[in-house]
Amino acid sequence: MVWLWLREGASYWYGIIGSLILVLYGVIPTLQSFPSFGRVYAAYGGVFIILAVLWGWGIDKKTPDFYDWLGCVICLIGVSVMLWAPRS
């Protein structure tokens, strides 16, 4: 939303709301119960990739192709391995 405000001339409300969402994006990982912040942050990055593809599809009207979806699936698999792989 900040992009739309600064780059495409959207209302300043887009900038305010987008900035608040970005602050929440930075706070939410700290509320997770996993013992390793690095894993949580890496998993969060994988989820961000998927949300970016969905944003492009829903808001920017750029239909994802096969490779976009394949990349999302690979990210979800990677996130799952990082978070839930059995460790001692």
Residues 43 and 75 in one domain: yes
Spell out the long-range contacts of 82-85 with Cβ–Cβ below 8 A and sequence spacing 24 or more: 82/39, 82/42, 82/43, 83/34, 83/39, 83/40, 83/43
Domain count, the chain: 2
Residues 53 and 79 in one domain: yes
- Residue-level pLDDT, tens digit, the chain, 88 residues: 888 899 988 899 989 998 998 899 888 878 877 777 888 888 888 888 999 999 899 988 999 999 999 999 999 999 888 888 898 7
pTM over the 0.85 mark: no
Residues 53 and 17 in one domain: no
23 lies in which domain range? 1-31
* pLDDT at residue number 48: 87
